[in-house]
C-alpha cells in the first residue's frame, strides 16, 4: 500500500463519517431558501442552541459562525467557516473549534421533491476520547441529526 492510501485508511479509522438524509416534497430551490437562512438552523437543529456570526458576511463561502452546541452534558462552541456554497445544491463547512472536521449539505432533485443529505466527519479531541470517542458517539450523533432532518422537513408543513 502506498503512503497516500495508507494515510487514507488511517484517516477513515480515526474519523467516522456520518450520513443522514431525508426526502422533502419540495424542489431544491425551495429547500435551499430555507437552509440558506443560517440563523434559522437553531429552529430545526436540536443540538444548536444559538448561532453568532463572526464578521459581516451572512451567506456564502467565507461566512464564519460560532454555534453554541449541547449534546447531553457536553456543551461547546462550534466554530465553523462555510467552504462551499453552490446554490441550490451544496453547502459545506469546516469545523475549527474543539471538534474539527467537515460538514456538508447536498440537495439532489428527486421526483416531485428533494433528497437532502447531511454528511459529517468530526474529529474528537483526545480529552473526549479521540477516535474511539468519535466512533462511540457516532450512533448518538446519527440519531440526533436524523431527528434534526425530520424537524427541517416539518418546517415545510407549517402554514
- Rounded CA-CA distance 88/72 in Å is 33
Residues 3, 123 contacting (CB under 8 angstroms): no
> Is the bond preceding residue 88 a cis peptide, omega within 30 degrees?
yes
CATH of domain 17-154: 3.30.530.20
Q: Tens digit of pLDDT per residue, the chain (159 long)?
A: 666 654 544 445 568 999 999 999 999 999 999 999 999 999 999 999 999 999 999 999 999 999 999 998 889 999 999 999 999 999 999 999 999 999 999 999 999 999 999 999 999 999 989 999 999 999 999 999 999 999 999 999 865
- pTM exceeds 0.85 for this model: yes
- Give residue 34's pLDDT: 97
Amino acid at each position: 500500500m502506498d503512503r497516500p492510501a495508507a494515510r487514507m485508511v488511517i484517516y477513515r479509522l480515526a474519523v467516522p463519517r456520518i450520513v443522514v438524509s431525508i426526502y422533502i416534497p419540495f424542489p431544491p430551490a425551495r429547500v435551499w431558501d430555507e437552509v440558506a437562512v443560517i440563523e434559522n438552523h437553531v429552529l430545526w437543529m436540536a443540538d444548536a442552541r444559538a448561532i453568532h456570526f463572526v464578521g459581516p458576511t451572512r451567506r456564502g463561502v467565507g461566512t464564519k459562525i460560532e454555534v453554541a452546541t449541547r449534546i447531553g452534558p457536553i456543551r461547546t462552541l462550534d466554530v465553523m467557516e462555510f467552504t462551499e456554497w453552490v446554490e441550490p445544491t451544496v453547502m459545506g463547512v469546516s469545523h475549527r473549534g474543539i471538534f474539527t472536521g467537515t460538514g456538508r449539505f447536498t440537495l439532489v432533485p428527486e421526483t416531485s421533491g428533494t433528497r437532502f443529505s447531511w454528511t459529517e466527519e468530526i474529529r474528537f479531541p483526545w480529552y473526549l476520547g479521540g477516535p474511539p470517542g468519535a466512533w462511540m458517539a457516532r450512533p448518538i450523533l446519527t440519531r440526533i441529526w436524523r431527528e434534526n432532518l425530520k424537524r427541517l422537513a416539518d418546517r415545510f408543513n407549517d402554514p
